[in-house]
Amino acid sequence: MINLEKLQNDQTVFGFFAQMLTYPEKLDFHPSVLAESLDSKHPAYPSVRTFWDLMHEYSMEQIEEMYVQTFDFQKKTTLYMTFHKFEDSRDRGQMLAKLKETYQLYGLDIAGSELSDYLPLMCEFVYAANWQGHEKQAAESLDLMLAVMKDGTYHLLKALEKSGSPYAHLIRGLRETFKACIQQETEAHEHD
């Protein structure tokens, strides 16, 4: 189960992941972006710092090319989190509908033709959503969203590691952030 307080504390971190997982722009790699998003005590910091340092070894043109080659042309490294599990089955359609309902529950509409399982969109939602006052409803919907993200990023991480992509470190950091936001069983029992 998700720990909403920890998730709320990490909202800016999810904003950082959303920014790093969308098509890159020069300002994305300004030193202030990392400094304002994560401090060195955050569990994801070592992985994110490795990603950050590696990306600064490339030109902007190389980063753009890497992004397109990695996420737009490879099925194994897609940013659509339900694709690995369901591909284009009916079950995927049902999951996409459930995720879309979660966005709508918080008054957020998905712009354009983007699918609801697009990882940068999901991170942006966690960053922007205001679930205060709706904790019970939020726990259920955000549990589902994080479960989809966690499952999808597992496959994505394995494929990125296999190809030696710097993005593997970013996804590892995202997964470490999920882990930090999940209520541990012992923690859950303390509050009973």
pLDDT for the residue numbered 189: 41
Confidence check: pLDDT of 88 > 80: no
The band of 93, judged by pLDDT with boundaries at 50, 70 and 90, is: confident
Alpha helices in 56-184 (DSSP H): 60-67, 83-86, 90-105, 119-128, 135-163, 167-181
Distance CA 72, CA 186 (A): 41
Report the alpha-carbon distance of residue 123 to residue 81 in Å, rounded. 12
Helix (H, G, I), strand (E, B) or coil at 118: strand
Given this model, what pLDDT does residue 136 score?
72
Residue 116 has pLDDT above 80, yes or no: yes
CB 119 within 8 A of CB 21: yes
How much is the pLDDT for 112? Answer: 66
Mean pLDDT of the chain: 88
Q: How far apart are CA 116 and CA 25, in angstroms?
A: 23
- pLDDT tens across 77-87, in order? 999 999 887 77
pLDDT of the residue at 106: 80
Q: Which has more confidence, 114 or 31? A: 31
Lowest average pLDDT, out of 35-39, 117-121, 134-138, goes to 134-138
Of 172, 138, 128, 151, the residue nearest 12 (C-alpha): 128
Mean pLDDT of 153-174: 97
Write out pLDDT tens, residues 169-187.
999 999 999 899 886 544 4
Q: Determine the pLDDT at residue 184.
A: 59
Coil, strand or helix at 80: strand
Q: Percentage of the chain surpassing pLDDT 70?
A: 91
Q: Does 188 score more than 50 pLDDT? A: no
- Alpha-carbon span 188 to 183, nearest angstrom: 6
What DSSP character marks residue 70? I
